[in-house]
Amino acid sequence: MIRLLAARLGQIALVTALLSFAAFLLIGLMPGDPIEIAIAGDPRLSSEDAARLRALHGLDQPLWARYLAWAGGVLEGRFGHSRLFALPVAALLWPALIGTLELLGLALLVAGVCGVALGALAALRPRLGPLVQGFALFAQAVPAFWLGMLLIILFAVHLGWLPAGGSEGGWRALVLPVATLAFANLAAYARHGAAALSAALEEPHIRTARAKGAGERRVLLRHALPNAAVPLLTVAALDAGALVSGALIAETVFARPGMGKLIYDAVMGSDFNLALIALLVVAVVTMLATLAADLAQRWLDPRIA
């Protein structure tokens, strides 16, 4: 277990380092440094101003030197400054990360509970199986931002029940983003949940439990669900990346502060230091989540190891 953990952590470190290098190089090839954009926006900037500002921001250095300086700083915990928000990057990351984790956690919970409930329905009532399958296929095919927009029109504009976005208003502001995000991810849980539960219900010890006269509900909750947990955790592990991608869409549609929106804003505002660091943080967190799901899976089902 320890060796496995060490190997996986090493792998995460390697992927992160490679990713940072590749992204930095690609971004370095982009045209239009911040100074050129400032010139285009402000006719009063003269030739001397351009040279002065470029030297001040270190943009007159070659690309590799900038990468080494940047990576060295990041390793020492100096994340630098966001040009876009004029704040230290670290100060921006924390609230954004918390916001995203809140959204993701709730969406995962809702998707998991609803998905498993649907799956259970399909497993217990085989006649409803095709219906649940059909619903899952449909849910997977709906573009998330389209759904978000439709929800805003319905619940925020026409009915006025919920805020259209932002982060004020506590739980009410979370309802629509969580619903949008959960809907797209619920399908996987419903399908795998149905399959895993049907399989579990066929296992000998459950037949035994049934024979002993345990009620259907008790059989499902106490015996079948724990067995189905392992495949569901696999889905969670595989879906971590997709969930984070969904968060970016939900945060953009609902103007909700978070990591996804931070990356998007940073890219759109040419704040590449912020974009890079935020991307790396998201990648590391996603990979750690995948690892955690894997470990939980092994712990629950020693056969896998």
Partner 1 sequence: MRAGLGLLGLLAAFAAAAPWLAALLGHDPFAPDLFNRFAPPSAAHPLGTDELGRDLLLRLAHGARVSLAVGLAAALAATLIGTLVGLLAAWRGGWLDAVLMRLADGLLALPALPLLVILAALDPAAVGLPRGEALADVLRLSLLLAAFGWVGVARLVRAGALSLLARDYVRAARALGVSEARLLWRHVLPGLAAPIAIATALAVGGAILAESALSFLGLGIAPPAPSWGNMLANAQELVFQAPLAALWPGLAILLAVLGCNLVADAISRGR
Partner 2 sequence: MGRLLLALLLLAAPALAQPRETLTIGITQYPSTLHPNIENMVAKSYVLGFARRPVTAHDADWRLVCLLCEELPSLENGLAQRETTPDGRPGLRVTWVLREGLRWGDGTPVTTEDLRLTWEAGREAATGMGPAEFYRSAYEFIAEGPRRFTLRFDRVTFEFASLGDFAPLPAHLERARWQADPRGYRSRTLYDTEPTHPGLWNGPYRVAQVQPGAAITLERNPHWSGPAPQFRRITVRTVENTPTLEAQLLAGQIDMIAGELGLPVEQAAALIRRTGARFRAEFRPGLIYEHLDLNLDLPALRDRRVRQALLLGLDRAQIVARLFEGRQTVAHSSVNPLDWPHDPEVRQYPFDPARAAALLAEAGWTPGPDGIRRNAAGERLSFELMTTAGNRSREAVQQVIQAQWRAIGVEARIRNEPPRVLFGETLSRRRFQGAVLFAWVSAPEGVPRSALHSSEIPSAERNWSGQNYTGFRHAEMDAILEALPVELDREARRALWRRLQAIYAEELPALPLWFRQDAHIWPPWLEGVRPTGHLNPSSLWAEHWRAR
Site string for partner 2, 151-190 (x = CB under 8 A): -xx--xx--x-xxxxxxxx---------------------
Tell me: does residue 296 bind partner 1 (CB under 8 A).
no
HSE of 88, CA atoms in CB hemisphere, 13 A: 8
Whether the Cβ atoms of residue 200 and residue 224 lie closer than 8 Å to each other: yes
Binding residue (CB under 8 A) for partner 1 from 97, 114, 175, 245: 245
Residues in the chain: 305
Supply 69's token pair: 């300086």
Q: How far is the CB of 70 from partner 2 (least distance, A)?
A: 15
Whether the Cβ atoms of residue 123 and residue 198 lie closer than 8 Å to each other: yes
* Whole-angstrom distance, CA of residue 122 vs CA of residue 129: 4
Binding residue (CB under 8 A) for partner 2 from 133, 142, 269, 300: 269
* Whole-angstrom distance, CA of residue 119 vs CA of residue 224: 12
**Footprint of partner 2 on 57-76 (CB under 8 A):** 57
Site string for partner 1, 214-243 (x = CB under 8 A): ------------------------x-xxx-
Binding residue (CB under 8 A) for partner 1 from 244, 273, 274, 297: 244
Binding residue (CB under 8 A) for partner 2 from 1, 3, 31, 141: 31
Whether the Cβ atoms of residue 246 and residue 181 lie closer than 8 Å to each other: yes
Supply 151's token pair: 């929800």
Q: How far is the CB of 86 from partner 1 (least distance, A)?
A: 21
Contacts (Cβ under 8 Å, ≥6 apart) of 34: 57, 59, 83, 270
DSSP three-state, residue 45: coil
* Whole-angstrom distance, CA of residue 195 vs CA of residue 205: 18
| First vs last C-alpha separation in the chain | 9
Sign of the torsion angle spanned by Cα atoms 239, 241, 246, 251: positive
Q: Which is nearer to partner 1, 12 or 209 (CB)?
A: 12
Site string for partner 2, 76-115 (x = CB under 8 A): -----x-xxxxxx--xx--x--------------------
DSSP three-state, residue 101: helix
Whether the Cβ atoms of residue 271 and residue 132 lie closer than 8 Å to each other: no
Tell me: does residue 28 bind partner 2 (CB under 8 A).
no
Tell me: does residue 47 bind partner 2 (CB under 8 A).
yes
Whether the Cβ atoms of residue 188 and residue 235 lie closer than 8 Å to each other: yes
Binding residue (CB under 8 A) for partner 2 from 214, 252, 280, 295: 252
**Footprint of partner 1 on 13-72 (CB under 8 A):** 14-15, 18-19, 23, 26-27, 29-31
Q: How far is the CB of 174 from partner 2 (least distance, A)?
A: 14
Site string for partner 1, 94-123 (x = CB under 8 A): ------------------------------
Residues near partner 1 (CB under 8 A): 11, 14-15, 18-19, 23, 26-27, 29-31, 133, 137-138, 140-146, 149, 153, 238, 240-242, 244-246, 248-249, 252, 259-260, 263-264, 267-268, 275, 278-279, 282-283, 286-287, 290
